[in-house]
Chain A
Amino acid sequence: MTDPTVRPSPGGGEGDGGRSNMKIVPVRHPGRWVASAVILVLAAMLINTMFFSHVTRGGVREGRYQWGVVGKYLFAAPIFRGIVVTLELTVIAMVVGIVFGIVLAVMRLSPNWLLSGSAWIYIWFFRGTPVLVQIIFWYEGISYLYPHLGFGIPFATPFVNVNANVLVTSFTAGALGLSFNEGAYMAEIVRAGIISVDEGQTEAAQSLGMAKFQTMRRIVLPQAMRVIIPPTGNETISMLKTTSLVYAIALADLFTAATNISNTNYEVVPLLLVASLWYLFFTSLLTVGQYYVERYYARGSTRALPPTPIQRIRQSFFHVRIKPVPAMADAPWLAPHE
């Protein structure tokens, strides 16, 4: 039994055709070999053009991708300021969007027609118009339609009067446009999550005497999270990139900052690469974060969580046996109980 390809068949004697002593030939996949070869050649060609080839532009011979220029601006101060704006917008839009989403989703599920109807109209409006239009609208439209914003008793003379131009800066307009739009999408995501939780859960919570709010917060939403998290991660990644639309209202986010630089030095492509590399870096971070958040909320739906990629690497390199994590143990800091 030194030849690993020879496997004894259980109970298979000499008489049943002698299968026990035969060599097993796996199925060949010639198509896969051809396809792999094609992909490898194409990849080699791409890498060659990216890093090892030159072109002549305007009489000057230079690297095709000009990685030197990319490197020069990758950590430039305006780019960094742009990154801060992009991240701020993403965080604000997602936080406000999620809060709006939860409120709107609960409203839509309300038996009161005015509440569910108004939530429906909100979603209809903000999902039905392009976010770019909404951003510009917040920036231009508000001060045009309501030049003076008053705060006080409805239909009476307001206590405080504010010039809309002062209140609505390009940053607030960008943040408002992205947030309100995101709220509409998050509402549908949260609603899907809430509906996915078995009604028996609500009944069990109510039979214990929990009030509606408690039932929603302690029982329904935590379970809805498993359905809500993946699309929310998707939305966050999408939002990080959608923030670049504030280019239209001249707010200096990452993309606008990169464009501003290339407007003066004409290095358009290298600066687009700078922006793209940063967007990729942050979306990668978000992807990893999403993986772990999803894992946390899988608690109770899988019997044992599979090891994370890092645990898997440790396992294969150091031959450490990592036993399957019984649900909570890996994230005690997120534990929902005091």
Chain B
Amino acid sequence: MVRATQVHKSFGRLDVLRGIDLVVNPGEVLCLIGPSGSGKSTFLRCINHLEKIDGGELAVDGELVGYRRSGDRLYELKDREVCGKRAEIGMVFQRFNLFPHMSVLDNVMAGPVRVKRESSSTARDRAVRLLERVGLADKVKSYPNQLSGGQQQRVAIARALAMEPKLMLFDEPTSALDPELVGDVLDVMRGLAEEGMTMIVVTHEMGFAREVGDTLVFMDGGVVVESGDPRAVLTAPQHERTKSFLSKVL
């Protein structure tokens, strides 16, 4: 589903990604962990082309992100084409980023109605179904700031799912939540994983990574230090850097 080969990205003189190699298969749940500043979020944003990569190759579902190959040239995609690709990838942010001027229902309907040009009745039906699924059927008419953080994040997940994506990206989805609200969000994500959604999750929830993740990737300094089965990596890390990181967070 996602294939990264030697992905490089720098902001000015700061090299954030220094050659990421990574493969995510369809239906796989990949958890990305690592200290802050290790490039996890940046890599996630590159997959959605919110950031442009400076080197290497990044492909989603066999197609390059942001470029079209023709002969030996890479053509940058037009805004419209990039949007088409993004529409197939759902993204959930650390700080929810719900649209505060729209009701919960409108938030979830916004993508299908504005991007896919769906009729509002179709979009509404799906939105209501998705909100039921994340346990917020009674909050349809509320506005985001009337909800708790955990509820907002579940709305954000429903909003991303409304586009029926083939890949979901989670950027520290529970880091901004009160501890007692984390569980509800993780439950929704667990349910998604069980249904076979391909997911890349940047997280600090080691328990979630262990239970739900198929692969755990530890990143540091813009490279993948170690990856493998979550249980193996968490219990018997091979690299010193991984060991010292895990000893601090576990």
Contact = CB atoms under 8 A, between A and B. Distances in A.
A300 B145 contact: yes
Nearest to B169: A207
B171 to A, nearest CB: 10
A209 B112 CA distance: 10
Contacts of B159: 208
Interface in A311-338: 326-328, 336-338
Interface stretch (B86-94, B192-200, B241-249): B86-94
Contacts of A218: 110, 114
Interface of B: 48, 50, 79-80, 83-91, 93, 95, 97-103, 106, 110-111, 114-115, 120, 141-146, 156, 159-160, 163
Interface in A188-216: 198, 200-201, 203-212, 214
A243 interface: no
A77 B73 CA distance: 73
A211 B100 contact: no
A219 B99 contact: yes
Given A208-B159, A300-B102, A203 B143 contact: no
Nearest to A213: B79
Given A206-B50, A327-B143, A300 B101 contact: yes
A299 B143 contact: yes
Given A203-B93, A299-B143, A208 B115 contact: yes
A81 interface: no
B99 A201 contact: yes
A211 B83 contact: yes
Contact of A210 (B88, B89, B114): B114
Given A207-B90, A208-B159, A214-B114, A301 B97 contact: no
B83 A209 contact: yes
Given A203-B93, A203-B97, A210-B111, 4 more contacts: A212-B79, A300-B100, A301-B100, A301-B145
Nearest to A223: B101
Output the residue of B87, B101, B111, B146 with the most chain A CB within 10 A: B101
Given A203-B50, A206-B86, A211-B79, A223 B100 contact: yes
Nearest to A301: B100
A211 B101 contact: no
B114 A207 contact: no
Nearest to A211: B83
Interface residues of A, number: 29
Interface of A: 198, 200-201, 203-212, 214, 218-219, 222-223, 297, 299-301, 303, 326-328, 336-338
B110 A208 contact: yes
Contacts of B79: 211-212
A79 to B, nearest CB: 42
A303 to B, nearest CB: 6
Contacts of A211: 79-80, 83
Given A203-B50, A300-B144, A300-B145, A209 B115 contact: yes
A206 B83 contact: yes
B99 A200 contact: no
Contacts of A208: 86-87, 110-111, 114-115, 159-160, 163
Contacts of A337: 106, 120
A201 B111 CA distance: 13
A205 B98 CA distance: 9
Output the residue of B50, B79, B97 with the most chain A CB within 10 A: B97
A102 B48 CA distance: 29
A338 B103 CA distance: 14
22 contacts: A200-B97, A203-B91, A203-B93, A204-B97, A207-B50, A208-B87, A208-B159, A209-B88, A209-B111, A209-B115, A210-B114, A212-B79, A214-B114, A218-B114, A297-B101, A299-B101, A300-B101, A301-B100, A303-B146, A328-B103, A337-B106, A338-B120
B238 to A, nearest CB: 34
Nearest to B146: A303
B76 to A, nearest CB: 14
Contacts of B146: 303, 326
B103 A201 contact: no
B80 A201 contact: no
B197 to A, nearest CB: 16
A300 B143 contact: yes
A201 B120 CA distance: 22
Given A211-B80, A300-B144, A201 B97 contact: yes
A264 B156 CA distance: 70
A223 B101 CA distance: 7
Nearest to B115: A209
B93 to A, nearest CB: 6
A209 B110 CA distance: 10
Contacts of B85: 209
Nearest to A327: B143
A200 B79 CA distance: 19
Contacts of A223: 99-101
Contacts of A327: 143
Contacts of A219: 99
Contacts of B102: 300, 336
A150 B87 CA distance: 47
A207 B115 CA distance: 11
Output the residue of B102, B120, B156 with the most chain A CB within 10 A: B102
A301 B144 CA distance: 9
A29 B90 CA distance: 62
